[in-house]
Amino acid sequence: MIASFLLALLAGFATPYLERPLGDALGRIEGMALWLGVPELRALTFGGLLLLAALLVWLLGADSSAFLLVLGGLLGLFGKDIVAFLRDPDGTAGKDDDNWDGEIAAPGSRRVIGTGAEAEASSEEETLRAVQEAVQAPGQAPEKESER
């Protein structure tokens, strides 16, 4: 049973590193009109690697447990984030008053869930456009994007 846990842990840890090569490989397949966003590609990679881990456990002839397979996969996938949170809860949230000076993750892009930055910018543009239309005289036609 420990083999299924360890192989799933490895599969979860490898998911972020293998999702881009998998996406590139799927994009090169001729006649495949499949577009996958980041969440779908991550789910496909994670599921495929867990399936591969289960297949390896079966080939090894070891006892397996679905619970340990899923637990190992999730701990492998979110392990770095969990450790970062346990070491510094304020640092993972990106709070300004955080005085932690030790980084445990390499600098660069960080996986952030639910920032909504694009939606927020789009919402602000939409609000500005609505206000401009409301301020115009009732008889005037609203300005078009090309006239601005």
Instruction: Calculate the average pLDDT of the chain.
Output: 76
Cβ atoms of 73 and 46 within 8 Å: the answer is yes
- Domain annotation covers residue 21: yes
* Measured torsion, CA atoms of residues 146, 120, 94, 73, in degrees rounded to the nearest 10: -110
**Number of domain units in the chain:** 1
- Domain annotation covers residue 31: yes
**What digits encode the pLDDT tens for the residues 109-125?**
555 544 455 555 566 77
Q: Which domain holds residue 82?
A: 1-93
- Domain annotation covers residue 84: yes
Query: Which residues have C-beta within 8 Å of that of residue 67, sequence separation ≥ 6?
Result: none
pLDDT at 50: 93
Query: Which residues have C-beta within 8 Å of that of residue 4, sequence separation ≥ 6?
Result: 53, 54, 57, 62, 63, 64, 65, 68, 69, 72
Q: Who has greater pLDDT, 52 or 139?
A: 52
- Domain annotation covers residue 137: no
Is the model's pLDDT at 97 over the cut of 80? no
- Domain annotation covers residue 142: no
For 25, 27, 34, 80, 81, the CA distances from 21, given in Å and listed in that order, are 6, 10, 15, 21, 22
Model confidence pTM above 0.75: no
Q: Which of 100, 106, 55, 45 is nearest to 76 (CA)?
A: 45
Burial class (CB in 10 A: 0-12, 13-18, 19+), 4: buried
**What digits encode the pLDDT tens for the residues 58-76?**
999 988 888 999 999 999 9
- Length of the chain, in residues: 148
- Domain annotation covers residue 98: no
Is the model's pLDDT at 44 over the cut of 50? yes
Q: Who has greater pLDDT, 148 or 66?
A: 66
